[in-house]
């Protein structure tokens, strides 16, 4: 994993860990209550908790699906001691919790669940109510020697959302990671090359949707900015330097597989699709192509249903274009302004309906 990337991780989750989560506190006698606490941004939150028979309170909300639980990894090293994840359920002696990072993770997990339930009638990431597990105070020693400064987050296994301390406060990061779990249950996009870049872009797109939902309609087109560092910009990808020393691309002609690094550029090239999503929603002129935007809500719908109904594990950028046009046509009609917005946005970044080699179009020149 690379710092400041936020990702779907290739870490393999053992059956023992999966079983540990499934046999968690939900099997014990608990009372569902309201909990309280300040999150990592200093905002006072209200959320679902449970009271155990011993009188303690845990960050476990069993009123949503099969549960939303938040664990404390206590800086256990992912690299050397992953078998001890997810850790223990975050707990306190009273219903007002004192760990702001645990409060952030728990509150945001419930809000992400609610967003997908309200907007798409989706019951958790698998649409079957599967338990959502957030893990705070995570650490990977291969990326930093400071356990409290792991600038990363990841989606692991069956709905396990893992956060380094600096990342947990960001609304869009929570949405990003949860959406990886949805993609793993829907299109199952392979996490490599163009399909992996689409996977990452879908998570950025719905990270933005979650930011809007949690923040009462207020959002921007940046990813992770609440952590103190903008990880990517959907509006102007090239304004953000990637970890590879070059700006993120806003055009398919700038596609770069990074010689296999970053799973052949899944984070890097996701910005090309992010730019498409921005143009569909907000409109504008890019590479001389004028797009009349249709608003972010319609854009979110188009990409959601492309993921659930049209894409498959090996879909590439050209196939994503076809998928989005098909969804827009089905929802709004062949001659609609929505279809035209999709077509022109893909045109603007030079993604055609036919698979092309970006190397032949002048990219990767350095």
pLDDT score of 10: 46
Q: Is the pLDDT of residue 18 over 60?
A: no
The encoded tokens of residue 347 equal: 């045109």
247 exposure class (CB count in 10 Å sphere: 0-12, 13-18, 19+): middle
pLDDT score of 365: 25
Catalytic-role residue among 176, 180, 267, 286: 267
Q: Clarify whether 92 is annotated catalytic.
A: no
d(CA 184, CA 161): 13
SS (H, E, C) the chain: CCCCCCEECCCCCCHHHHHHHHCCHHHCCEEEEEEEEECCCCCEEEEEEEEECCCCEECEECCCCCCEEEEECCCCEHHHHHHHCCCEECEECCCEECCHHHHHHHHHHHHHHHHHHHHHCCCCCCCCCCCEEEEECCECCCCCCCHHHCCCEEEECCCEEEECHHHCCCHHHHHHHHHHHHHHHCCCCCCCHHHHHHHHHHHHHHHHHHHHHHCCCCCCCEECHHHCCCCEECCCHHHCECCCCCECCCCHHHCCCHHHHHHHHHHHHHHHHHHHHHHHHHCEEECCEEECCCCHHHHHHHHHHHHHHHCCCCCCHHHHHHHHHHHHHHHHCCCCHHHHHHHHHHHHCCCCCCCCCHHHHCCCCC
Q: Between 24 and 130, where is the model more confident?
A: 130
pLDDT score of 22: 54
∠ CA 17-177-107 to the nearest 5 degrees?
90
Average pLDDT score, the chain:
92
Cβ–Cβ under 8 Å, residues 21 and 27: no
- Domain coordinates of the chain in residue numbers? 1-185, 192-366
**Which band of pLDDT confidence, cut at 50, 70 and 90, is reported for residue 16?**
low
Is the torsion defined by CA of 187, 192, 197, 201 positive or negative?
Answer: positive
**Which band of pLDDT confidence, cut at 50, 70 and 90, is reported for residue 350?**
very high
pLDDT score of 356: 57
Q: Which residues pair with 51 in a beta bridge?
A: 31, 57
119 exposure class (CB count in 10 Å sphere: 0-12, 13-18, 19+): middle
pLDDT score of 78: 96
Across 23-29, average pLDDT: 55
**Which band of pLDDT confidence, cut at 50, 70 and 90, is reported for residue 353?**
confident
Residue percentage of the chain with pLDDT more than 90: 87
**Which band of pLDDT confidence, cut at 50, 70 and 90, is reported for residue 151?**
very high
What CATH number was assigned to the domain covering residues 192-366? Answer: 1.10.390.10
Q: Clarify whether 267 is annotated catalytic.
A: yes
The encoded tokens of residue 317 equal: 């950028």
**Which residues, including other chains, have CB under 8 Å from residue 164's CB and lie 6 or more apart?**
138, 139, 140, 149, 150, 151, 152, 153
pLDDT score of 364: 30
**Which band of pLDDT confidence, cut at 50, 70 and 90, is reported for residue 157?**
confident
Cβ–Cβ under 8 Å, residues 137 and 84: no
Q: Is the pLDDT of residue 25 over 70?
A: no
Across 350-361, average pLDDT: 67
Catalytic-role residue among 7, 8, 158, 177: 177
User: What are 201-238's pLDDT values in tens digits?
Assistant: 999 999 999 999 999 999 999 999 999 999 999 999 99
Q: Between 157 and 248, where is the model more confident?
A: 248
Q: Is the pLDDT of residue 262 over 90?
A: yes
User: What are 274-291's pLDDT values in tens digits?
Assistant: 999 999 999 999 999 999
Q: Between 21 and 263, where is the model more confident?
A: 263
**Which band of pLDDT confidence, cut at 50, 70 and 90, is reported for residue 354?**
confident
Q: Is the pLDDT of residue 28 over 80?
A: no
Across 337-366, average pLDDT: 75
Across 91-119, average pLDDT: 99
Q: Which residues pair with 289 in a beta bridge?
A: 286
Q: Is the pLDDT of residue 139 over 80?
A: yes
Cβ–Cβ under 8 Å, residues 154 and 252: no
What CATH number was assigned to the domain covering residues 1-185? Answer: 3.10.170.10
**Which band of pLDDT confidence, cut at 50, 70 and 90, is reported for residue 197?**
very high
d(CA 23, CA 275): 42
Q: Which residues pair with 161 in a beta bridge?
A: 134, 155
Across 152-156, average pLDDT: 93
């Amino acid at each position: 994993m690379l710092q400041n990337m936020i990702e779907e991780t290739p870490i393999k989750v053992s059956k023992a860990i999966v079983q540990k989560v499934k046999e968690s506190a939900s099997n014990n006698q608990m009372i569902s209550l309201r909990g309280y606490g300040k999150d990592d941004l200093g905002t006072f939150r209200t959320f679902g908790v449970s009271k155990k028979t011993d009188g303690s309170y845990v960050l476990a909300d069993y009123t949503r699906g099969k549960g939303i639980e938040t664990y404390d990894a206590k800086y256990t090293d992912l690299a050397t001691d992953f078998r001890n994840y997810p850790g223990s359920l975050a707990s306190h002696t009273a219903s007002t919790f004192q760990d702001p990072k645990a409060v952030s993770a728990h509150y945001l997990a419930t809000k992400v669940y609610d967003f997908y339930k309200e907007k798409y009638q989706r019951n958790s990431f698998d649409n079957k109510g599967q338990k959502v597990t957030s893990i705070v105070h995570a650490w990977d020693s291969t990326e930093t020697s400071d356990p409290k400064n792991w600038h990363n987050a990841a989606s692991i296994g069956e709905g396990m959302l893992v956060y380094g301390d600096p990342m947990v406060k960001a609304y869009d990061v929570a949405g990003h990671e949860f959406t990886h779990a949805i993609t793993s249950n829907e299109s199952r996009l392979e996490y490599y090359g163009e399909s992996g870049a689409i996977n990452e872009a879908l998570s950025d797109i719905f990270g933005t949707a979650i930011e809007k939902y949690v923040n009462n309609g207020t959002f921007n087109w940046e990813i992770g900015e609440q952590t103190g560092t903008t990880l990517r910009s959907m509006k102007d990808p090239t304004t953000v330097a990637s970890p590879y020393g070059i700006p993120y691309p806003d055009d398919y002609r700038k596609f770069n597989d990074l010689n296999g690094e970053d799973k052949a550029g899944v984070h890097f090239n996701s910005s090309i699709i992010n730019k498409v999503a921005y143009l569909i929603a907000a409109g504008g002129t890019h590479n001389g192509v004028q797009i009349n935007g249709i608003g972010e809500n319609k854009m979110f719908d188009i990409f959601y249903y492309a993921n659930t109904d049209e894409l498959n594990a090996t879909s590439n950028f050209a196939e994503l274009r076809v998928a989005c046009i098909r969804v827009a046509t089905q929802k709004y009609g062949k001659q609609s302004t929505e279809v035209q917005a999709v077509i022109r946005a893909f045109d603007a970044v030079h993604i055609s309906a036919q698979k092309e080699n970006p190397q032949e179009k002048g990219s990767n020149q350095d």
